[in-house]
Amino acid sequence: MVKYLILQNPGHNRVFYKEAGELAAAELSIASQRLSVECTDIATQEVAGVRYITLSCNDDLSEADINILSRLSFVFAIFHQFGIFAEDGLLPIPFAKYEYLDSKISTLQKYPGKTNELFTKMMVNVALLASDFTYDDAISLLDPISGRGTTLNEAAVYGFNAFGVEIEHKSVHENQVFFKKHLQNERLKYLSDRRMVYGKKKSEAIYIDEFEYANSKEAFKDETQRKKLGVVNGNAQDVDKYFKKNSFNLIVGDLPYGIAHGNSGANKSSTGTRNPLELIRTGLPAWKAVLKTGGTMVLAWNSFVLAKNRLAEVFEQQGLKVLNEAPYDGFEHMVDKSIKRDIIVVKKL
Ligand SMILES: C[S@@+](CC[C@H](N)C(=O)[O-])C[C@H]1O[C@@H](n2cnc3c(N)ncnc32)[C@H](O)[C@@H]1O
């Protein structure tokens, strides 16, 4: 047996309080199904007062395995343990360099209502690892409730094409301004385009703001190597009107939490809905239509306002497979007094 110890990103502890170890173990268990070696003993272990996540494998991890582990949201450092006890020796293993864009694109921004970027990265990882696709495929990801774009930014760090739909114009605008500024600050080549994606008359027109960019001048010259990031200022329930059927490998999003942030407890915001069940019921047929077979949806919601089995029923009624069993059931955690967050993982078979 070869034993590895993984040190957790301190930010992970901050986001998930005391459940950080369990969430990390769940993400690692899902990832371990993709490794070239057989792994057991995924648990937490203290060494000299510091918590590590352990992983025992029947052989050395390959380069491709390190490539997968380096991406996990909680991973800060990976050590190969030699000797019988962890105290005997820990040899650091170099990380794989996988970032297409610098991850600061996702960490720099702070605003009310932002979904934590480590949590978002975890959702993107779980979606990819539960799907029939690999990180090396040409992945297109959709966030149908994209806010100011944390999921899209995380997808861009991975070099995925990333598309969002968001009902609030202000968020769409801020997302677009920020992304453009980032490309300019990093001196990356890009094209930007605004075009109608839906509507016969101007009064009912729905637009997408889209960037085509690359992380080097050479890559930008070759159109097939360019990446896309686009946001539609529209309604999540209409994604099949904005995008072609079977066009996304992954759908990832953080649903409205079902609680009013600062205004009067009404269940509707000015344009969208705060009720996650209503949003799923009305949006799911369209989300299913744009998702490829073998693709997955990972959605976060507040389990205080909606039980998982009620949510799961809606997906099952649409003929989708809800991954309910361990380790997919290991993600529930407290965010604050009114939000207990969980994720649901769903596959289109
Ligand atoms: C929890 S927030 C997402 C935050 C985002 N992940 C971020 O970090 O910026 C949920 C978003 O869903 C949007 N929303 C609610 N109903 C919608 C609908 N019917 N169509 C599109 N967006 C909607 C809200 O405006 C809000 O921005």
pLDDT digits (tens), the chain, 349 positions? 999 999 998 887 777 767 888 999 999 999 999 999 999 999 999 998 888 999 999 999 999 999 999 999 999 999 999 988 877 899 999 999 999 999 999 999 999 999 999 999 999 999 999 999 999 999 999 999 999 999 999 999 999 999 999 999 999 999 999 999 999 999 999 999 999 999 988 888 999 999 999 999 999 999 999 999 999 999 999 999 999 999 999 999 999 987 655 433 334 444 566 789 999 999 999 999 999 999 999 999 999 999 999 999 999 999 999 999 999 999 999 988 889 999 999 999 9
Q: Where does residue 117 rank: exposed (0-12), middle (13-18), buried (19+ CB within 10 A)?
A: buried
Q: Within a domain: residue 206?
A: yes
Indicate if 28 and 72 belong to the same structural domain.
yes
Nearest residue by C-alpha to atom 12 in ligand 1: 145
Instruction: Give CA–CA dist 83/90, Å, rounded.
Output: 9
**Residue 98 counted as domain residue:** no
- Judge if 265 and 309 occupy the same domain: yes
Same domain, yes or no: 318 and 279: yes
Same domain for 276 and 146: yes
Question: In angstroms, what is the span from residue 200 Cα to ligand 1's centroid?
Answer: 26
Ligand 1, pocket-test mutation among 166, 174, 338, most atoms within 8 A of CB: 166
What is the CA(247)–ligand 1 centre distance, in A?
21
Q: Are residues 35 and 152 in the same domain?
A: no
Residues 36 and 141 in one domain: no
Pair 180, 33 in one domain: no
The pLDDT score that the predictor gives to residue 264 is 38
The CATH number of residue 10's host domain is: 3.30.70
Q: 50 with 7: CB under 8 angstroms? A: yes
Both 65 and 172 in one domain: the answer is: no
Count of domains observed in the chain = 2
Range of the domain at 86: 2-93
167 close to ligand 1 (CB < 6 Angstrom): yes
Does 126 lie in the same domain as 77?
no
56 and 204 in a single domain? The answer is no
Pocket test residue of 119, 120, 145 for ligand 1, highest count of atoms within 8 A of CB: 145
In a domain, 297, yes or no: yes
For residue 165, what is the domain's CATH number? 3.40.50.150
307 C-alpha to ligand 1 centroid (Å): 20
Structure tokens at 2: 């070869």
250 and 220 together in one domain: yes
Cβ–ligand 1 contact at 236 (below 6 Å): yes
Q: Please answer whether residues 340 and 304 qualify as being in contact, where contact means their C-beta atoms are separated by less than 8 angstroms.
A: yes
Based on the fold, state whether residues 150 and 186 are members of the same structural domain. yes
Cβ pair 167, 271 in contact under 8 A = yes
